[in-house]
Amino acid sequence: MTPELLAHSTPLTDTTPEARLSLDPDLGRRGAVDGGWWPYSQDAAVELPGLIAALDRRLDRPVRRVGLPLGSWDDIPHRVAAPGRQVKVGWFRNMDPHVVTLICEAMEPVNLLVVPPGTESGTAAHALTLATRCAGATRPTDILTAAASSDAGSIARDDSRAVWEGEGGQIAGHQGSDPLREEAS
């Protein structure tokens, strides 16, 4: 007897567009996101197969699960077909609306900034680049705002010191910095 999937599944086809994706080359886990993704639409059933295929290739390991913010996507399937497997898709009410999380085999989850589909191409390209360079407490919304403003080039990776953002503390002698502004030299 062959098992039957009861949930809606989206197949990967030859017409699936190439994902517009940027990844931090070392996936150093220094920021809120590990890269960016600029989907063509808000239809998860159409967009996820291309993203999953692109990450499978780029990371050389299969994506097993995807987490999406519930209010940000249309037609969220329960599963997405990928070569040799079905990828489970979950949706969450309290997730950042500009992030998608992918769980891959034998590695930490990959969090991607989602650049809204209707974003102007120059702004989207900036956001995809910034998403690979941000560190610390830079929020996805801050990246999108900076990419759309004249300060788009001012987000820089801050590897100098860690700040205890969750508890409001800081390392002795560390002068807090705004990752969206470069210090004047």
Half-sphere exposure of residue 33: CA atoms within 13 angstroms, side-chain side? 30
Half-sphere exposure of residue 178: CA atoms within 13 angstroms, side-chain side? 10
Alpha carbons 157 and 149: distance in angstroms, whole number: 18
Alpha carbons 17 and 94: distance in angstroms, whole number: 29
Give just the sign of the alpha carbon dihedral 26, 28, 31, 36: positive
pTM above 0.85, yes or no: no
CB 19 within 8 A of CB 117: no
Q: Tens-of-pLDDT digits for all 185 residues of the chain? A: 332 323 333 444 445 568 899 998 877 666 789 999 999 999 999 999 999 999 999 999 999 999 999 999 999 999 999 989 999 999 999 999 999 999 998 888 999 999 999 999 999 999 999 998 877 668 999 999 999 985 444 444 443 333 333 344 444 444 444 444 443 33
Q: Identify the bridge partners of residue 104 per DSSP, sorted by sequence position.
A: 63
* pLDDT for res 122: 94
Q: Identify the bridge partners of residue 110 per DSSP, sorted by sequence position.
A: 102
